[in-house]
Amino acid sequence: MLFVKNLHKSFGAQILFSGADFQLNRGEKIGIIGRNGHGKSTLVRLLEGEDGLDDGEIIMPENYRIGSLEQHLNFTKATITEEVASVLPEEEMHEAWRAEKLLSGLGFANTDFNRPAREFSGGFQIRIKLAALLLSEPDLLLLDEPTNYLDVVAIRWLERFLRTWKGEVICVSHDHAFLERSITHTVAVHRLKLKKFKGGPTKCLKAIALEEEVHERTIKNDKKERNRQEKFIREFRCGARSAGLVQSRIKMLEKREKLESLTAIPPIKFTFTETDFNGAKMMEAHNLQYSYPNGEDLFKKIGLELFPGDRVGIIGANGKGKTTLLRALAGEIKPDSGTYKKHINSHLGYLGQSNINTLEGGRTIVEELLTANNVSEQQARSVAGSLLFSGDLAYKRIEVLSGGEKARVNLGKILLTPVNVLLLDEPTNHLDYESVQALMNAVEKFDGAVVFVTHDERFLQTIAKKLIVFDGGEVTSFDGTYNQFLTDVGFASEAEEVKSTPLEKALSEATERKKSNKELQKLLRPLKRQLKDLEKEIDKLEQSQILNKDLFTKAYRQGNKLKMETLGIEYQDLQIKLEAKMKVWDELAEQITPLEA
C-alpha cells in the first residue's frame, strides 16, 4: 500500500499540486492521466524519490520496493543474461540462472541467452527490461509513458503482461486505449488534485465531468438562495419586529461558504492549412526496395497508389522498415530500386522523427514557426499555444527543448504550411490525450491524403482505411480498417508467441476456459431455472402434506371416518406427486453436476 497525503509541489510560479491525495491499495493497477505539463511525470519522480515535496508526505510500507521502467531502452551488457543479472547484488551475481529462468518465462529460447539485446525487436527488448525489473523483486511497477517507443505488437504484449502481474502498477500514459485494457483504477491529475476512480480513463473522465456539472449547478442554486436571503435582509432590515430574523440571516450568509466557479480549461484545436489538388493520383510507387549497407533487404516489392481522401496506416514491429518507407515517400531518401512518382500538384507535409534536426537551435519557437509560411506572429503564437507553448513558453529557444517539444514544433510548422498530402511518423508521441484527440479531429477533416506510421491503436482505429503491414518477415497490403485486420488476419508474430511463450499460453488457456465457462453458463441457466421452479413446487407439496396430516389427525380425534378416508387418498396423491417431482429434480441435478465439473 502507498499513500500520497496533502501533496504540494510547484516550480517557480507554476503550481502543479496543492493538497493532493490518493491511495494505492494492494494489487491495484493505476493509470495516471492528465494534460501535458500538469504534473504526471513530476508525480513519478516524487514517488521514485528523485524530486522533493514542497509539503505533504508519501507513505509506503517498510522495504516496499519500486521498480521503474524507463522510456528509453538503453543496454550496456554483452548478452541479455548479463543485462538482466546486472540488477542482482554483488554477492548474488553468480546466480545468472535466475535471470535465464525469467527470460524463459517471457518467451526467450535458451539459444537467445548469449545474444546482445540490440538484436531483438522493441517488443522483446521491453521484455528484457521487464525481466531485470522482476529479478529485482519489486512490489510496485512504475511505468512512465511505456508505449512511446514500442510498436503495436509490443504494446499488445505489454497489455497482456500487466493484466497477469500480481503486484501493484502505476502507469503514466496518454494512450487511453492501452490503459483501458491494462489497469483497474485511474488517477486523473486535474485542477492541482489527484482524483481516483475505479475503472479506465473513460469512466474517470465521465465522473469528473459529472462532478464539475454538479458543482456548477450547486453554484447556480447557491446564488439563487443568496439572492433570496439578501432580498429578505434588504426589505426587513428597518423593521423592529423582524430585526432578530434579519440578524440571523446575515450571520448565516457570513458563515456560508461561497463557492467559486471553475476556471475554464481551454480546448485544444488543430487545423491543417490545405491547398487544392487538381489531378487523379497524388503519388504512386511500384516495387520499392531498400537494403541495409550489408546488402540485407529491409523491404522489397512495396507498392502504393495514393488518391485524395486516402488514409493509409503503416503498421508492424519496430526496426522493420516502416519509417524508412515513409522517408522514401517523402523524398528524404532514395530507394535502391523500384519506381516512385509524385504528382506536380501534390504538396507534402512531412512529420518525421529525423527532421527535428533541421530546426535552428538559436531561434525561438515563434521564430521557427514563422519560417513555415507567410504567416503573422499572432498566427504563429496561436499555433504555439495549441501545441502547449502558451505565453512566455512560445519564446523558448529551440536548443533548450526536449525531443518531444521539438516534435511538436515540427507539427506546428506543418499546421501552418499549405499541404494536400500528410506523411506522419509517430505523430502521437509526446502528445497528451486531448492533443491526440485534436490531431485526429484535424486529420479527419483534412480533404487530402494521409499516410502515417503509428503505434497508437486509437489513432489507427479512428483514421486508417487501408494498411501496409510489416509482419512475419513480409510486407503486405490490407484494404480495410485496423479492426478488420485484427479480426480477419491478425499479427503472425503475435500468433506464434501464443504458441511458444509460457505466459502467453497460460493467457490463451485462461481465455479458452473463460469462453468455455460462458458456454456452460448458457446451458446451465435454463436448468437452474427449472430447478428453482421445482423447488417451489416441492415446498408447496411438502406444506400440503403437513396440512393434510394435521387434518387427518383432527378427523381421527373427531371420529370422522369418511373425512379420514378422503384425506388418506389425498395424502397418497400428494406422495406420488412429490416423488415424481423429486425424480425430475434428481435428473436435472445430474445434468448440472457433470457440466460444472
Taking only the tens place, the pLDDT of each residue in 548-570 is 767 767 776 777 767 666 766 77
- pLDDT of 364 reads 93
Q: Does pLDDT of 524 surpass 90?
A: no
Q: Helix, strand or coil for residue 551?
A: helix
pLDDT digit string, tens, across residues 285-313: 999 998 877 777 788 889 899 999 999 99
Average pLDDT estimate for 318-324: 82
Average pLDDT estimate for 570-590: 69
Domain end, chosen from 145, 179, 206, is at: 206
Are 202 and 214 members of one domain?
Answer: no
Q: Does pLDDT of 511 surpass 60?
A: no
Total domain count, the chain: 4
Average pLDDT estimate for 539-549: 72
Q: Tell me the residue type at 425.
A: D
- 563 part of a folded domain: yes
Output the average pLDDT for the chain.
82
Residue 439 to residues 39, 354, 361, 498, 571, Cα–Cα distance (Å): 22, 20, 26, 34, 80
How is the beta sheet containing 283-291 ordered, strand by strand? 297-306, 283-291, 337-342
Are 189 and 215 members of one domain?
Answer: no
DSSP bridge partners of 424: 351, 452
Average pLDDT estimate for 413-441: 88
Q: Does pLDDT of 504 surpass 80?
A: no
The residue with greater pLDDT, 3 or 540, is 3
Which helix H or strand E contains 30, and what residues bound it? strand 29-33
Q: Does pLDDT of 8 surpass 60?
A: yes
Q: Tell me the residue type at 419.
A: V
The residue with greater pLDDT, 392 or 355, is 392
Residue 282 to residues 287, 323, 342, 426, 430, Cα–Cα distance (Å): 18, 20, 6, 22, 30
Could you tell me the residue range of the domain that residue 215 belongs to?
207-255
Are 424 and 539 members of one domain?
Answer: no
- 275 part of a folded domain: no
- 288 part of a folded domain: yes
pLDDT digit string, tens, across residues 261-285: 777 777 777 889 899 999 889 999 9
Concatenated DSSP letters of 253-322: HHHS--PPPPPPPPPP-----B----SS-SEEEEEEEEE-TTS-EEEEEEEEEE-TT-EEEEEE-TTSSH
Q: pLDDT-derived band of residue 526, with 50, 70 and 90 as boundaries?
A: confident
The residue with greater pLDDT, 149 or 283, is 283
Q: How far apart are CA 273 and CA 439, in angstroms?
A: 13
Q: pLDDT-derived band of residue 487, with 50, 70 and 90 as boundaries?
A: confident
Place of cell 508526505: 57
Q: How far apart are CA 489 and CA 185, in angstroms?
A: 32
Which helix H or strand E contains 196, and what residues bound it? strand 193-198
Place of cell 548478452: 79
- Where are any strands of DSSP class E within 355-453? 421-425, 449-453
- pLDDT of 506 reads 46
- pLDDT of 590 reads 67
Q: Helix, strand or coil for residue 104?
A: helix
Q: Does pLDDT of 240 surpass 70?
A: no
- pLDDT of 391 reads 82
Which segment of 50-59, 171-180, 352-361 scores lowest on mean pLDDT? 352-361
Q: Helix, strand or coil for residue 526?
A: helix
- pLDDT of 582 reads 67
- 271 part of a folded domain: no
Are 459 and 372 members of one domain?
Answer: yes
DSSP secondary-structure letter at 112?
G
Angle ∠(208,211,214) on CA atoms, nearest 5: 150
Domain end, chosen from 255, 272, 291, is at: 255
Are 234 and 179 members of one domain?
Answer: no
Q: Residue 28: name the closest of 186, 161, 246, 191 by CA.
A: 186
pLDDT digit string, tens, across residues 69-100: 766 678 889 999 999 998 888 888 788 888 88
**What per-residue string of b and e applies to 293-320 under the rule 16 or more CB within 10 Å gives b?**
eeeeebbbebebebebebbbbbbbbbbb
- 591 part of a folded domain: yes
Which segment of 175-189, 429-443, 489-503 scores lowest on mean pLDDT? 489-503
CATH number of domain containing 396: 3.40.50.300
pTM of the model: 0.65
Domain end, chosen from 148, 175, 206, is at: 206
CA 276, 279, 280, 281 torsion: positive or negative? negative
Which segment of 4-8, 187-191, 386-390 scores lowest on mean pLDDT? 386-390
Q: Tell me the residue type at 384.
A: A
Q: pLDDT-derived band of residue 519, with 50, 70 and 90 as boundaries?
A: low
Q: Residue 58: name the closest of 124, 142, 125 by CA.
A: 142
Q: Strand 466-471 vs strand 474-478: parallel, antiparallel, or unpaired?
A: antiparallel
- 267 part of a folded domain: no
Residue 423 and residue 330 in contact, taking contact as beta carbons nearer than 8 Å: yes
- 224 part of a folded domain: yes
Q: Strand 311-316 vs strand 466-471: parallel, antiparallel, or unpaired?
A: parallel
Are 581 and 481 members of one domain?
Answer: no
Grid coordinates representing 44?
513519478
Q: Does pLDDT of 405 surpass 60?
A: yes
Q: Helix, strand or coil for residue 29?
A: strand
- pLDDT of 126 reads 79
Q: Helix, strand or coil for residue 155?
A: helix
The residue with greater pLDDT, 574 or 516, is 574
Q: In this prediction, what percent of the chain has a pLDDT beyond 90?
A: 24
Which of 107-111, 178-182, 239-243 is most confident? 178-182
Are 199 and 51 members of one domain?
Answer: yes
Average pLDDT estimate for 410-415: 89
- 381 part of a folded domain: yes
pLDDT digit string, tens, across residues 164-210: 888 899 999 888 889 999 999 999 999 999 999 999 999 998 998 88
Q: How far apart are CA 227 and CA 214, in angstroms?
A: 20
- pLDDT of 180 reads 92
Q: Does pLDDT of 386 surpass 90?
A: no
Grid coordinates representing 108?
526467450
Are 479 and 539 members of one domain?
Answer: no
Are 379 and 434 members of one domain?
Answer: yes
The residue with greater pLDDT, 87 or 588, is 87
Q: pLDDT-derived band of residue 514, with 50, 70 and 90 as boundaries?
A: very low
Are 450 and 328 members of one domain?
Answer: yes
CA 393, 396, 398, 399 torsion: positive or negative? negative
- pLDDT of 62 reads 86
Are 420 and 292 members of one domain?
Answer: yes
Are 511 and 415 members of one domain?
Answer: no
